[in-house]
Structure 1
Amino acid sequence: MSVTAWRGSPQFVWTFWRRSIQARVVISTLLLSAVVAAVVGWVLLDQVSDGLVDGKTRSSVAEATRGTVDAQRRLSGASGTEFDASAQLTQLVASIVQRGQVQGYDVVLTGPVAGSSEGVAAGSGTRNSQGVRSDSIPQRLRGEVEAAVFTGVGWTYTEIRYDPSIGKPSVPGVVTGSQLLLPADGGTYTLYYLFPMTEQERTLSLVRRSLITGGSLLLVLVGGLTWLVTRQVVTPVRLARRVAERLASGRLEERMHVRGEDDLARLGMSFNQMAASLQKQIRQLEELSRVQRRFVSDVSHELRTPLTTVRMAGDVLYDARDRFDPATSRSAELLQKELDRFEMLLTDLLEISRFDAGAAVLELEDVNLADVAHRVVEATRALAEHKGITVRIRADAEPCIAEVDVRRVERIVRNLVSNAIDYSDGSDVLVLVDSDEHAAALAVRDHGIG
C-alpha cells in the first residue's frame, strides 16, 4: 500500500482526528461557522426575497390600478357614435400593450363576461400582448375577477408562459385583474396585467452569489485565524511533549525554551523546574544506589577472608567431632551447618554485586533437576521439621536433564521451598519434577496463604 493511499485511509483520518487538538478545533470551528453562516445567509436571503416580492407586488397592483382607471376613463370619454366597439377595444389594447412594452409588463383582455352585454358588436375572444399565453392567468383569479359583484383590482402569483415561437422562457410573476365597461356595447370585459419578476430573480441571484462568496471568504478567514490561534497554543504543548519523551528516555538535561511571560511561558518555567527537581532526585537515587552497591560489594569481599579462616577452624572441629563429648560434637555439627548457610548468604551477596555491576554470567551445564530437588529438600529439612511439615518430591525414575546454571536454579528452588514451608497451613509441600522431549520443569506446590 502506497504512502498516499495509506494517508487517505479512514484509519489514518481517525487517528489524526484523535491525536491532533489543532485539527479538532479548526474543523469544529469551521463546521459551526458554516452552520451559522448558512442560517444567517438563509435568513437574509429570505428577508431580501420577501422584500423584493412585496415591493414588486405593491408596485404591480398600483400600476394595474392606474392603468385600469386610465383605460376606463378613456373608454368613458369616447362616444358610441365616434367609434364602434371593435375599434374601441383594438385602440385600447394597442395603447395598453404599447405602455406595457415600455414599462415591462404584458396585457390580456378577455370578454365579454357572461351575464353582461352579448358583445355582438365587439365580438367575444381574447386580446393580449404578443406571445403571452392566456393560460398564464390562474383559474381562481379568473373566477374572482369575472364575478358580477367584483370591484377594484385582484392579484395573485403565477408563472407567465410564452409561445415557443418567440423563444422566451417561462418566468414567475404577479398577475392583476380588473373589470372594464365598454360603452359601445355595454359589455363587461376583464383586463389582466402580467408583471414578470425577471429583475427580482436577477437581484436574488446576485444576492445569493454575494452571500456564498462572502460566506466562503469568511470561512477561510475564520479557519485561518483559528489555525493561527490554536497553533500558538498547541506548539508549546507539543514542545513539552517532545521534551517529556526525551526525559523519559533518560536525557535528563532536556529543557523547554521559554519565551515571554504569558500563561504558556509560566507553564514552560514550571515544567523546567519540575524537570530539574526530577533530575536532582534521580541523581541522588543513583548516587545512593551506587553507594549501596559499593557497600554490598565491599562487605561481601571483606567477609570472604574471615569466613575462610572460620571455615578452616570449623572443618577441623567437624572432622574431630567423634572425639568430643556428645554436646560438643553436636555443637561442631551445628557450627558446620551455620557456616554453610553463612557461605551461601555471602555467595548471594557476591551474586547481587555482580548483577549490579553487570558482570554476572551464566554457567550452563547439564544437570538432573531431580538431584537439585533432593539437595534443596535436604538443605531445608531442619526448617521443615521445626515447622512440622513434610517436603515430598514427585519425580520420574528417568533423569530430568536440563541445561541450566545449577547454582542459580538451586538458589531459586531453595527460596521457593523455604517460602512454602514458612507460609504453609500445615499441609505437605510437594516438589514436582517432570520433562518431555522439548522441555523440563520443576514446580513447588503448597497450600498456604501465599
Structure 2
Amino acid sequence: MRAPRVPSRLRRPPTFWRRSIQARVVASTLVLSAVVICAVGWYLLRQTRDGLLENRVDAVLAESASATRDAQGRLQAAPVGGTDAASQVQDLAREIIGRADTRGYQVVITGPVDAGVPLSDAVATYSAGLDVVATLPTALLDRMSTVGAGPAWTYTEVISDRTGETDVISDQPEDGSVPGIVVASQLRLPADGRTYALYVVYPLAEEQETLGLVTQALLTAAVLLLVLVAGITWLVTRQVVTPVRLARQVAERLAAGRLQERLRVTGEDDLARLATSFNQMASNLQRQIRQLEELSRVQRRFVSDVSHELRTPLTTVRMAGDVLHDARSSFDPGTARAAELLQTELDRFETLLADLLEISRFDAGAAVLDLEDVNVGDVVRRVVDSTRALAEQRGVRIAVEDADRPCLAEADARRVERIVRNLVTNAIDHAAVGGRDPGIVIRLGVDEDASAVAVRDYGIGLEPGESAMVFNRFWRADPARARTSGGTGLGLSIALEDTHLHGGWLQAWGRPGRGAQFRLTLPRRSDHALRRSPLPLQPDDATDRDEVTA
C-alpha cells in the first residue's frame, strides 16, 4: 500500500528551510537575540522594581515613623482626665486619617492589643473604603498583639471594601486589590494606660503603574530591536549569500552543458577572489571537456569508419571462406581443419564487427527504441529455445520458473531479447559443468510498476567488487577461460546500454564459488521511473554470509 502523498503547499516551508541558509541564519540570530533581550529585560525589570520598592520603603518608613511620633506626642499632651479611651482613640484617628487622606495612604488603629479578641470585634477605627480584615496580614497582627513589640513592616495586598460609600484608592483594579506596604507600631493611650496598634497602609499603585509603563516600554523596544536585528541580519547575510546563489546557478548551468557561463567579478574582496578562481576552474574544465569530447568524437568516428570499411573486405573473405568450407571434404585433414577454423573465426569476427557498430551507435547517441507491449516471458522462452543446443553442448541444463506467468512491459522486443540472450549465454559460459542441476535458473517477476528477469548460475561466481566491473567492455572474470559461446566481450556492455535506453536496471550479484545472478528490471511503462524490483538481487538460495552487491 502506497503512503499518502504530502501536498506541495505543506512541503514548501520545510523545503525552503532546508535550502535557504539565509533563512536559517536569520532565524537563529532572532532566537539568540530574543534570549539575550529577554534576559536583559528581565534583569532591568528586576532592578527597576527593586529600586522602586527600596525607595518607596525608605519613604514609607520615614513617613510612618514621623506619623507615629506625632501621634504619640499628641497623646502625651492630651489631658489625663475627662476623656474615655474610645473618645481619645476616635479623636486621634480622626486627625491622623485626615492627614492620610491628603497624602494618599490609609490608617487603622486597633486595640487594646492585649485584649485577645479578633480584629473584627476589637475597638478599631480606620480610613474609609478599606477592608481591614483582608488587608492586614495575620503575621503582623500576631506580632502587634504583644505589648512592647517594636515597629514592623511587610508587603501586603490592599483590599478595598466595595460595600462602602467611598473608595479611597481610585486606581485599583476591578477586584479591589493593589500591592501595598503596611507599617505597624504601638501607641500607649493615656486615657486607660493600655497599648493600641497603629497600622499605616501605603498602596503601591503609582509604583505598579510605573513598572507597567517600564515593562510596556521594554516590550516595545524588544520587538523593535528584534525587527531591526532581523532586517540587519537579512541584509548582511544577503551580501554573502547572493554571490553564493549566483555561483550555484552558474554551476548548475555548467552541469547542464552551458560551458560558457561565468561569474561576474566585482571588487577585490574574498568573494571576488572566489569568483575569479571559480571562473578559472570553469575555463580549465571547459578546455579539458572539449579536448575529451574531441578525442571521444575522433575515437567514435574511427571505430565507426573502421567498422564500415571492414565490411567490404570481410564480405570478400567470407565468400572465399564459404567456398573453402564447402570444399573441405576434398582437402587433406590439416587443410580441412584450417578451413573449419577459418569459418569459425569469420563468424566471430562478423559478430564482433556488428557489436562494434552497435557500440558506436550508443556512443553517438543515435540508438532509438521501437516501443511495443512485450511479454518478457515469451522473450525468455525464445532465448532458451535458441540457446538450448549450446547449453547441451556445454552440459548445462536451463530451467525457467513461472514461465507461463504474464510479464508485460512497454519495450523494444529486439533489444530486450538481445539483453536476455547475452545474460543466458554469459551464464552458459560460466556455469559449473557437472555441478548443480539445473545449472542455470531463470526467474520471472512482475508487479504494478516493473517486470524483471533474473538469470542465476552456479559457476565460478564473482570476486568482491567485480559486480560493477562485469559490464565493462572486454572485461573477463577469468581471463584464462575460453568463450564457449564465441562472445566478443561486448555483450554485457551492450546489454547495459540497452537497459539504460529503456530506463531500467541491470545489476549483478556474485560470490566466489557460489555462482552469480544477473537481474534485469524494466518499467511497465516507458515514462515511469523505477523505484524497486519485483525480484531480489541476492538469490533466495544464497547463504546468510553472502551480501548483496548492486
Structure 2 length-normalised TM:
0.67
**Pairing 1:86-101 to 2, within 5 Å after superposition:** 88-101=88-101
Contact 2:432 2:439 in 1 (8 A): no
Answer yes or no: is 1:27 the counterpart of 2:27. Answer: yes
Q: Which has the larger radius of gyration?
A: 1
For residue 139 of structure 1, what is the aligned residue in structure 2? Answer: 138
- Counterpart in 1 of 2:234? 227
Q: Does 1:207 align with 2:207?
A: no
- Tell me how far 1:197 sits from its aligned partner: 0.8
Q: Percent identity?
A: 55
CA contact (8 A) 1:71 1:92 kept: yes
Q: 2: CA distance between counterparts of 1:173 and 1:371? A: 102
Counterpart in the other structure of 1:398 = none
CA distance in 1, matches of 2:206, 2:442: 101
2:395 to 390, 393, 398: 390
Asked if structure 1 preserves the Cα contact closer than 8 Å seen for 2:180 and 2:203, the reply is yes
Equivalent in the alignment of 2:461: 449
Partner SS, residue 268 of structure 2: coil
What amino acid sits opposite 1:101 in the alignment? D
Per-residue deviation, 1:310: 2.5
- 1:138-217 equivalence runs, <5 A: 138-151=137-150, 153-164=151-162, 165=164, 166-167=166-167, 168=169, 169-217=176-224
Equivalent residue number for residue 128 of structure 2: 130
Q: Partner of 1:349: helix, strand, or coil?
A: helix
Alignment CA distance shift 1:410-1:390 (3 Å): farther
Secondary structure at 1:149's aligned position in 2? coil
Q: Distance in 2 between matches of 1:192 and 1:72?
A: 14
Match of 1:50 in 2: 50
Local SS of the residue matching 2:56: helix
The question of 1:40 aligning with 2:40 is answered: yes
User: 1:147-184: CA deviations, max 9, x gaps?
Assistant: 12224x22222222232132453322111122222223
Is contact 1:107–1:129 with CA below 8 Å preserved after alignment? yes
Equivalent positions of 1:208-287 (< 5 A) are 208-287=215-294
Long gaps (5+) in structure 2: 1-5, 117-121, 170-175, 401-407, 445-450, 463-550
Question: Tell me, what secondary structure is at the counterpart of 2:80?
Answer: coil
The alignment's C-alpha RMSD in Å is 3.9
Which residue in the other structure is 1:119 paired with? none
Q: How many residues align?
A: 423
Letter in 2 for 1:157: Y
Partner Cα separation in structure 2 for residue 126 and residue 7 of structure 1: 75
Does structure 2 retain, via aligned residues, the 8 Å contact 1:373–1:413?
A: no
Matched, 1:343 2:341: no
Shift of 1:392: 5.0
Q: Distance in 1 between matches of 2:49 and 2:457?
A: 89
1:312 to 307, 319, 325: 319
The structure, 1 or 2, with the larger RCO (C-alpha pairs under 8 Å, 6+ apart) is 1
- Residue 121 (structure 1) aligns with: none
Residues 362 and 405 in structure 1, CA contact (< 8 A), matched pair in contact too: no
Assess, with a 3 A threshold, how the Cα gap between structure 1 residues 316 and 416 changes in structure 2: closer, same or farther. Answer: same
Q: Which residue of 1 aligns with 2:74?
A: 74
User: In 1, Cα distance between the equivalents of 2:424 and 2:102?
Assistant: 116
* In structure 2, distance between residues paired with 1:440 and 1:162: 88
What is the deviation of 1:214? 1.1
Inter-partner Cα distance in structure 2 for 1:54 and 1:197: 12
Q: In the alignment, what sits opposite 2:307?
A: 300
Per-residue Cα deviation, 1:184-237 (whole angstroms, up to 9, x for no partner): 332322222111111111111111111111111111111111212222222222
Change (3 A) 1:422 1:180: same
- Find the aligned partners of 1:405 and 1:142 in 2 and give their Cα distance: 104
Distance 1:410 1:337, change over 3 A: farther
